Amino acid sequence: MTMNRQAVAFGLATVLFVVTPSFARLPDWARQIAERAPSLPEGVSPDERHVLIQETNVTAEADGRLRTHRRVAEQFLRVPSAPDATDAVIVDDSSKVITARGWHVPYEGRSERSIGLAVEFSVGNDFLNDSRARVVSLDGVGKGSLVFYEFEVLDSPFSLDLLHVFSGSGAPIARAGFETRVPPGWTVRHAWLRGADVPPTVEGNVMRWELSGIRLPPRATGLTEPAGDTHPTLVVSFTPPDGAAIKTPHHRNWQALGAWFDEISAGRSDATAAIEAAAWTAVEGAGSGRVQRLAAMARFVRDGVRYVAKEIGIGRFQPRPADQVLGQRHGDCKDKAALLRAMLATQGIPAFPILVNASREKSIADAVPAISAFNHVILGVALDPDEAIPDWAGTAVVDAGEIGRLLVVDVTDDRTAPGWLPGYLVGKSALVVSGGRSRFVRLPGEAPDAHRIERDVEGVVEPDGRLHFTRTTRIWGEPASDARGAWRRSTKNWRARSEHALRDEWPGATVQALDVTPETSEGAFVEVVRIAAPLPPGNPPMIVPLAGAAEDLDRVSLGRREVAVVYPHPIKLSFTSRWKGSFPILEPQSRSDEGEGWKVAAEINTEGDLLRASWEARLSRRRFEVAEFEELKRLWTAADRAGRLMAPLEAR
């Protein structure tokens, strides 16, 4: 007993002597963490800092407000790149910051509380919004520093759901907890959109999820999945009991969410005389086909209404009236969709808003309806069942069941032609809004034909050995969007890049003409280049008719890569080459290779003084896990080999 008392006394003395001076000004929760903080690793740590604990508690108040309390503890493992450490909470006009404070314990130093005035910065890329970062900044941070942050925010949200991303802002997280509390009678639905699918512990009205050892995926350059899809993500939806007097929208199912969007959009797509006049102007000369007419109106809105986002309050979800959008000629995605819907209505063409997430690959959980699942609005335009769909528009058609077949149109993306879909929409789950009939569809564009690059070379080997050839490139789908975007940004830079690539392929070449049609009526981007070149250097001189064919297939270095290769969309590449000249007779040759989700084929033959060669690669899958890199290398090798399959031919 005496011994024990002595031990306790010694322990207290130690604590008082060692701990109290350092951690005296820390709150209890932070002091407990500080006392158990791990020692610093030997040598140079690969991580500048790590999160010791990240704790988030969300409490639903009986009146529908959400109170979020967050605590974070971090330790700096090496000399920081900046002497300040900051953390922030994002708020808007519907929220109130109750607490925002921080503490800093320098290595073997005394704790200091953040002092100074409240600091807020607006955040986001919108032209106008009310989102702000409430910042806590701690200065003098160095190696070994412990920093602690605490935030409490009371929010009156526009929807009783939220996404929680377990992110340490670039640092690994040792332990993270997320907790919900609800009043009696409320229910909480949840789903992991990404992560370990850890079940919650439930105690009364408290649900708690705990994760540990969260590390960022290893760094990789190129062909990676979207940045937002790299952290464990939980979606949570709160439902009050029936009859509760809660004004905040909450949705029992996705149909209810669709109905809510319909409700707040009511009247916003009403046509006016000005809208009808604009519609008639747009369709003038477009022909009588529905697809041609709707494409003409889509171009009108896409090109004539500039993107200006004003995301304030309910304006984040509710479109502005179509006549206002037309009058001002600016608006965001939902505004532009509303205007197009109104214009289509004047032509007797029904259309439906489609809610989708433009940046996350997976944002939908079947059992957890959440408005936070979406960040973009596009339009599904009803097709005439009795009218054939032109080939060029086929890749953007989706079957929406009882709503009918729809042509999916995104008039916000001014790079993408009607009838085609940008890569960021391909294969996404999206909610077609039609009141109680609202339903999910899987957006089209997943076939290689929906994203094509077709190159066609016609050339002559002159008797004096000089080459003259014309290269025509037709691009469709997302590659066309990319090309169109680059062309619109700077025609001069486009020409420079195009000419550079050609001179690299054909040393000494001169580009005699370069013409671009950025968007044909069928949605293609077309470039035609006329080139004169000496025979490529070499003894004897030769030409390789399919040279460069495989270069449109994006690749990355796999040697040290530890994450999957993710193509943004499927793709079909083709290259044909026809040369007139004096060639030796060549036995026809062909070659094809295929693997899981890809196929490559090429052939060459001569006929009289004509040399013909063709090459094609189809990639229908988008993802190659690390274990599948050998398969990916097979694809790349096959594409290269097919391009070189033809023995280079001598010009006689």
Give the footprint of other proteins on this chain (CB under 8 A): 40, 43-46, 78-79, 107, 117-122, 127-130, 132, 142-144, 219, 222, 303-304, 306, 308, 310, 327-330, 414, 488-492, 496, 499-500, 503-504, 507-508, 510, 534, 536-540, 542, 554-560, 633, 636-637, 640-641, 644, 647-648
Q: How far apart are CA 178 and CA 198, in angstroms?
A: 11
Instruction: Tell the smallest beta-carbon distance from residue 148 to other proteins (Å).
Output: 20
Instruction: Tell the smallest beta-carbon distance from residue 259 to other proteins (Å).
Output: 31
CA angle 164, 166, 168 (to 5 degrees): 130
Instruction: Tell the smallest beta-carbon distance from residue 21 to other proteins (Å).
Output: 17
602 closest CA partner among 548, 638, 650, 553: 638
Question: Amino acid identity of 627?
Answer: A
The phi, psi pair for 150, rounded to 5°, reads -140, 130
Instruction: Tell the smallest beta-carbon distance from residue 542 to other proteins (Å).
Output: 8
User: Residues 382, 350: contact at Cβ < 8 Å?
Assistant: yes
Q: How far apart are CA 599 and CA 596, in angstroms?
A: 8
**Beta strands of 305-360 (E only): which ranges?**
306-307, 310-311, 330-331, 351-356
Complex with other proteins: residue 297 or 450, whichever CB lies closer: 297
Complex with other proteins: residue 245 or 273, whichever CB lies closer: 273
Alpha carbon separation from 257 to 164, 188, 245, 252 (Å, rounded): 20, 16, 18, 8
Complex with other proteins: residue 440 or 567, whichever CB lies closer: 567
The phi, psi pair for 214, rounded to 5°, reads -85, 120
Complex with other proteins: residue 110 or 219, whichever CB lies closer: 219
Question: Amino acid identity of 612?
Answer: R
- CB burial of residue 440 (10 Å; 0-12, 13-18, 19+): middle
Instruction: Tell the smallest beta-carbon distance from residue 355 to other proteins (Å).
Output: 24
Q: How far apart are CA 463 and CA 460, in angstroms?
A: 9
Instruction: Tell the smallest beta-carbon distance from residue 120 to other proteins (Å).
Output: 4
Complex with other proteins: residue 124 or 390, whichever CB lies closer: 124
Complex with other proteins: residue 40 or 163, whichever CB lies closer: 40
335 closest CA partner among 346, 324, 344: 324
Termini Cα distance of the chain:
106
Complex with other proteins: residue 178 or 624, whichever CB lies closer: 624
Complex with other proteins: residue 222 or 463, whichever CB lies closer: 222
Q: Per-residue b/e over 407-433, b at no fewer than 16 CB within 10 Å?
A: bbbbbbbbbbbbbbbbbbbbbbbbbbb
Complex with other proteins: residue 327 or 465, whichever CB lies closer: 327
Q: How many CB atoms lie within 10 A of CB 24?
A: 10
Instruction: Tell the smallest beta-carbon distance from residue 319 to other proteins (Å).
Output: 16
Give me the long-range contacts of 296-304 (CB less than 8 A, separation at least 24): 297/340, 297/343, 297/344, 297/347, 298/340, 298/409, 298/411, 298/418, 299/418, 300/343, 301/336, 301/339, 301/340, 301/343, 301/411, 302/336, 302/411, 302/412, 302/413, 302/414, 302/418, 303/414, 304/329
Instruction: Tell the smallest beta-carbon distance from residue 236 to other proteins (Å).
Output: 30
Instruction: Tell the smallest beta-carbon distance from residue 500 to other proteins (Å).
Output: 5
> Which residues pair with residue 177 across a beta bridge?
55, 210
Instruction: Tell the smallest beta-carbon distance from residue 540 to other proteins (Å).
Output: 7
Complex with other proteins: residue 330 or 622, whichever CB lies closer: 330
The dihedral region occupied by 620, where left means phi > 0, alpha psi between -120 and 50, and beta the remainder, is alpha
* Residue 90 CB contacts under 8 Å (≥ 6 apart), including other chains: 123, 131, 132, 133, 134
Instruction: Tell the smallest beta-carbon distance from residue 67 to other proteins (Å).
Output: 22
What's CA 563's distance to the chain center, in Å?
Answer: 17
Instruction: Tell the smallest beta-carbon distance from residue 496 to other proteins (Å).
Output: 6
Complex with other proteins: residue 112 or 640, whichever CB lies closer: 640
* Residue 3 CB contacts under 8 Å (≥ 6 apart), including other chains: none
Complex with other proteins: residue 118 or 227, whichever CB lies closer: 118
Complex with other proteins: residue 198 or 514, whichever CB lies closer: 514
Complex with other proteins: residue 3 or 627, whichever CB lies closer: 627
Instruction: Tell the smallest beta-carbon distance from residue 545 to other proteins (Å).
Output: 14
Instruction: Tell the smallest beta-carbon distance from residue 591 to other proteins (Å).
Output: 10
Helix-strand-coil split of the chain, %, nearest 5? 25, 35, 40
Q: How far apart are CA 23 and CA 37, in angstroms?
A: 12
Instruction: Tell the smallest beta-carbon distance from residue 328 to other proteins (Å).
Output: 4
CA angle 163, 169, 171 (to 5 degrees): 125
Complex with other proteins: residue 76 or 238, whichever CB lies closer: 76
